[in-house]
Amino acid sequence: MTKLAFRALPHFEGLSLPRYESAEAAGMDVRAANDADEPIILKANGGRALVPTGLTMALEAGFEAQMRPRSGLAFKHGVTVLNSPGTIDSDYRGELKIILINHGDEDFVIERGMRIGQMIIAPVLQVEVVEVVEVDALPDSVRGSGGFGSTGKH
Ligand SMILES: O=c1ccn([C@H]2C[C@H](O)[C@@H](COP(=O)(O)OP(=O)(O)OP(=O)(O)O)O2)c(=O)[nH]1
Ligand SMILES: [Mg+2]
C-alpha cells in the first residue's frame, strides 16, 4: 500500500495532514483536532482523554494502522498513548482518535494542531482459527511452557 487517502471532517479545517517528518520515518505524526478555544487538559498523575484528529480513512484490506506515542512527549512530560499501539482496523470508517494519558506530575495542555502521536501502517495477517481437540497435541519445543523470564539462568 503506497497511497493513503484521508477524508477530512469539518473540524480538520486548517490543520496539516499526517506526514513523515524525516525521509525514512516509520510513523506519520498526527495532530490534535480539538477546538482552538477548548484546549484539552490532561490532569497530572493519570489524567486521560480521547483526542480527535478530524480524519477518517479507508485502509486497504490486509493493512492496519498503529497509533503509537511520541517519545519526546513521553520523556519530557510523561504523556503517552494509553492503549499503545492503538489498533486501527482497515474496515474502520470512523474518526481516528488518540487515547492519551498523562503519567507526569504536572497537568498537560493539548492545543489544537499539536502533534500528539504517530501512525504506522503495517501489514496484517489473519489466520484461520482451528481448535486442537486432543490434550497434549501441541508439538514439542525446547522452551516448552517456560516464559516470563525463564531463559538465560545458566
Ligand atoms: O487508538 C485507537 C484505537 C482504536 N480506534 C478506532 C479504530 C479501530 O478500528 C476501532 C476499534 O478499536 P479496538 O478494536 O481497539 O476497540 P474495541 O474496544 O475492541 O472496540 P470495537 O468493539 O469497536 O472493536 O476504534 C482509534 O481511533 N484509535
Ligand atoms: Mg475491537
Establish whether 83 is an annotated binding residue: yes
pTM for the complete prediction?
0.94
What's the number of domains the chain is made of? 1
User: Which ligand 1 atom lies nearest to the CA of residue 83?
Assistant: 1
- Whichever domain contains 100, its CATH number is 2.70.40.10
Q: Where are the beta strands (DSSP E) in the chain?
A: 6-8, 19-20, 28-31, 40-42, 47-52, 55-57, 63-68, 79-81, 86-88, 97-102, 108-110, 115-123
56 found inside a domain = yes
57 found inside a domain = yes
10 found inside a domain = no
89 found inside a domain = yes
Q: ipTM of the predicted structure? A: 0.98
Question: What local confidence, expressed as pLDDT, does residue 13 receive?
Answer: 97
Local mean pLDDT, 10-residue blocks, the chain (154 residues): 94 98 98 97 98 98 98 98 98 98 98 98 97 84 93 86
> Given ligand 1 and candidates 48, 82, 90, 92, which is best to mutate, with the most ligand atoms within 8 Å of its CB?
92
109 found inside a domain = yes
Which residue segment(s) compose the domain that 47 sits in? 26-123
45 found inside a domain = yes
- Round to whole Å and give the CA distance between 105 and 99: 18
107 found inside a domain = yes
Question: What local confidence, expressed as pLDDT, does residue 138 receive?
Answer: 87
Q: DSSP letter for 11, please.
A: G
Establish whether 16 is an annotated binding residue: no
84 found inside a domain = yes
